[in-house]
Chains A and B, each alone.
Chain A
Amino acid sequence: MAIENKATDVITGMKNDPEATKKVAAGTEADNGQKTKTAENAVVAEEYYCDALNEHNVNKIADGSRLNIVAIVGFVDYGKTTFVSTLYHQLLTNVEFCDHVMYDSDTFIGFERRFLIRSLNTPMEETSKRTIKGEDSLLALTLDSKENGRYKLILSDKSGEDYADFTGSEEEMKDYVILSLAHHILFFIDTEKLLHSMASVKYSYNGLVKDLVDHKMISNKNRVSLVFNKHDMVGDQEEIYKENKKIMIDFFEDVFKGMVVHQYEIDSTGASDHFASMSKLCKDIMSLTNQVEKTTDDLNWVKKELND
């Protein structure tokens, strides 16, 4: 089977023009992609071909492809990166996963970074590694399925520390353009923390979510889901879990008045008996909804704003 695809030509651009290709492929064209380098951590020390993108340089992948943007929101150690790397791993190591074929990515290295972080972040490790604050967080998968055809799935996997900093910072929040474009927003909740300190979890989200709504970053155009991660940790504390879970659901439903708040209970490592629910979430975020009308050209908001 040979299927023509023009999409990937766009990212590295002009054929048979080595100089231009070199520049574009290297991502060294004059863009405004200023990266925040975190000197103390080597995970983001170098930039590679097809690395993760940020809000300033994501326009590099604007090629007219249909688009599905998923924002993954949550605080430090809630399992966002673990989820992303599990999804990536499944798509990378299977010809099809959840009826979807991954046939390309503009950010393979961005995923590999997360895969590395994930591989270090095992119970064996004394120190916990995670996505670094300010690290480029936009990841792209080029997918195909019978149901949805071909499109790009953009995942926003910001550091949990970034979300902590958003609260009360209007400037930082406004820079988070991708959220306002997202078709699906996943709010991760760490079940283990929910069991032991529900108040802390609610407190963290209280500031963030209310700010997001106040700044009109979330509207009823977004599909919103609560993802109760590390659900395998519930064990014999089912009653406490149910009670605290209800409090969180009530809180989100109250903030997002009139919106349906979907729920998932997963173990984002994909290693436990919860893989079916993990797969269900993966399938749901990969399924295009009727709301999907955007293309990757919409990512070029710099150009769009100039034209306006």
Chain B
Amino acid sequence: MNGIKILIAGLPNAGKTTYIAALNGAIQTGGDFSLSYAGKTSELQYVNKVTRQWLEGKVVDHSTDDEPKYINWPLKNRNDDVINITIPDMKGEMYQDIINNDFNEGLAEFCKGASGIFFFINDIVKPVLKDHVQNIVSTDGGAVNQQEESAISLSIEKVNDVVKAILVLKYLRNLIGDVRLAVAVSSWDMIESTYPSIEEYMKSECSALYNYVRYHFKDYKFYGVSAQGLKYDEHTGSLDKITVDGKRAYIFTTEKEYDLSIPLDYLTSNQQ
């Protein structure tokens, strides 16, 4: 049995745990996948819990433990080779702490010998200069709160999403090196109608990250990921059917593919 370490990384709410839950749920309930179920995962209790949440269409609990869960996952490719993938499920705050100059030793230790990075981003807001916008209104439609605006401390929340993602990726690259990289844009179903391809999305909304990746990684791919496969508040009751039919969660590059294992297959193929 081969062992491959893949780092699943991303800031809080980037979609890491939802992906783990969805992949486990999807490959065990049906569909034609590049990688299929080949044995029990470690951290079974945890994986089962989040998988059940996914199957029921509930919001998947985010990782909150200070120590990462290292999930050992035996998966079988289409040649019937069993690939033993180890992925850590770490809380996103651990990655955010990197920007605060607070580096986790467990993360650094795992990165030794990792052969790929599966990097998640979600809910990216492109920075806009206020003086480029004629009418500025706050989210509640009223005038911008002057009191709030005069608080000028630079906090992590005020750092642009794209920059935060680059800083985390930059740190990881310096630890791991130029390994294979998959960048996943989570909640793709929410934005897919606007962009013909994931590449176009990256160029338009995350151009600095797009540039960073193509200049620093020789071997990389971008994916849109709709792991949940539905909006949480639009649970129609037909969830079971699309889940069992393998038509719920999908990957998008230029078209939909109902195979959540595609990025992991890319990260692990010919890596043994």
Contact = CB atoms under 8 A, between A and B. Distances in A.
Interface of A: 1-5, 8-9, 11-13, 15-16, 18, 21-22, 25-28, 41-43, 45-50, 85-86, 89, 91-95, 101-104, 108-109, 111-113, 115-120, 122-127, 129, 144, 269-271
Interface stretch (B51-59, B208-216, B223-231): B208-216
A244 B253 CA distance: 58
Nearest to A124: B144
Given A22-B105, A48-B101, A125 B150 contact: yes
Contact of A101 (B98, B103, B211, B219): B211
Interface string B134-153: 00100000001010011111
A282 B241 CA distance: 56
Given A92-B208, A125-B149, A5 B160 contact: no
5 contacts: A16-B177, A21-B175, A43-B153, A109-B167, A269-B131
Contact of A18 (B153, B163, B175, B178): B175
B144 to A, nearest CB: 7
Contacts of B270: none
B219 A108 contact: no
Contacts of A13: 174
Given A92-B127, A92-B160, A46 B173 contact: no
B101 A26 contact: yes
Contact of B215 (A12, A25, A123, A144): A144
Question: Nearest 4 CB-CB pairs, A to B?
Answer: A18-B108, A42-B153, A103-B215, A12-B174
A239 B215 CA distance: 49
A39 B211 CA distance: 37
* Residue from A2, A9, A115 having most chain B Cβ neighbours under 10 A: A2
Interface in B108-166: 108-109, 111-113, 126-127, 129-132, 136, 144, 146, 149-154, 158-160, 162-163, 166
B130 A115 contact: no
B146 A124 contact: yes
A92 B130 CA distance: 16
Given A16-B112, A48-B159, A270-B132, 16 more contacts: A3-B215, A5-B215, A9-B174, A12-B171, A13-B174, A16-B113, A26-B101, A45-B154, A49-B167, A50-B167, A89-B127, A92-B208, A103-B216, A104-B216, A109-B163, A271-B129
Contacts of B214: 1-3, 103
Contacts of B112: 16, 18
B159 to A, nearest CB: 5
A89 B150 contact: no
B237 to A, nearest CB: 42
A108 B166 contact: yes
Given A91-B208, A94-B207, A116-B158, A127 B150 contact: yes
A185 B98 CA distance: 35
Nearest to B166: A108
A1 B210 CA distance: 11
A49 B101 contact: yes
Interface of B: 98-101, 103, 105, 108-109, 111-113, 126-127, 129-132, 136, 144, 146, 149-154, 158-160, 162-163, 166-167, 170-171, 173-178, 203, 207-208, 210-212, 214-220
Contacts of B150: 120, 125, 127
Contacts of A12: 170-171, 174
A236 B159 CA distance: 40
Nearest to A267: B131
A267 B112 CA distance: 49
A20 B144 CA distance: 45
Contact of A21 (B99, B166, B174, B220): B174
B127 A15 contact: no
B219 A2 contact: yes
Contacts of B109: 18
A49 B98 contact: yes
Contacts of B208: 91-93, 102
A45 B211 contact: no
B108 A119 contact: no
Contacts of B149: 120, 124-125
* Residue from A21, A48, A102 having most chain B Cβ neighbours under 10 A: A48
A18 to B, nearest CB: 3
Contacts of B171: 12, 25, 49
Contacts of A125: 146, 149-150
Contacts of B211: 95, 101-103
B103 A116 contact: no
B132 A112 contact: no
Contacts of A46: 100, 153-154
A68 B152 CA distance: 31
B111 to A, nearest CB: 8
Contacts of B170: 8, 12, 50, 104
Nearest to B133: A271
A117 B126 contact: no
A264 B23 CA distance: 57
B152 A15 contact: no
A270 B129 CA distance: 10
